[in-house]
Structure 1
Amino acid sequence: MNKRLLHIFTLALLSSCSAASESSSSSRANRTPVAYNTVVECTLYDGMSKQSATLTTIGSGMEVQVMDTVDAYFVKARVTKDGKPVTGYMYRTCFPQR
């Protein structure tokens, strides 16, 4: 009887871990961009270094849609330039601390 209960609890534990991992990955995929205003003039790069090509320069106070926090220094961002969306990478220091 004790072995049977142990097996049932083990199966329940494994199924709950599997369900938790599926729900966390699906919620990450459903994130929408968040609008922020820059606090200083910044550059939108096509890669994650200062040696990357410059896509555009964003002035202070302009709205930027932050799509993902890539690492400790960069965020993936989207801006509108000449009526077209441009996606690239910006330094986190361009935005106010939250």
Structure 2
Amino acid sequence: MNKRILHVLVLGALTSCSAASESSSSSRANRAPVAYNTVVECTLYDGMNKESAQLTVVSSGMEVQVMDTVDAYFVKAKVTKDGKPLTGYMYRTCFPQR
């Protein structure tokens, strides 16, 4: 009898852990882009390495939609240039510290 109770408790704990991880990932996916203004002139790249092509140059004070904080150095961003939306990657140093 005690083994059954133990199994039920373990199963309940595992279920709650998996449910918590699913809810946190789904709430992250539902976040909307956040508007920031750049503090310096920066480049929007198509990737996150030295060989990445430059999509456009974003001037200081221009509004950028930050879609995701990719890693310690880059954010995924969307910029509108000449009425055309461009999505790429920018250095975090382009934006004010929060």
Q: Same fold by TM-score, threshold 0.5 exceeded? A: yes
Question: TM-score, normalized by length of structure 1?
Answer: 0.92
* Number of the residue aligned with 2:40: 40
Distance across 2 between alignment mates of 1:41 and 1:18: 43
Aligned partners of 2:30, 2:82: CA distance in 1, in Å?
28
Gaps of 5+ in 1: none
Could you say which residue in structure 2 is the equivalent of 1:68? 68
Identity score, percent = 84
SS in 1 for 2:77: strand
Query: What are the ranges of 5 or more consecutive residues in structure 2 without an aligned counterpart?
Result: none
TM-score by length of 2: 0.92
**Superposed displacement of residue 27, structure 1:** 1.1
Counterpart amino acid of residue 80 in structure 2: T
- Counterpart-to-counterpart distance in 1, 2:87 and 2:64: 10
1:96 alignment partner in structure 2: 96
Deviation at 1:12, TM superposition (A): 1.2
Partner residue, 1:53: 53
Q: Which amino acid letter does the alignment assign opposite residue 41 of structure 1?
A: E
Map 1:14-29 to 2 at 5 A: 14-29=14-29
Give the aligned length: 98
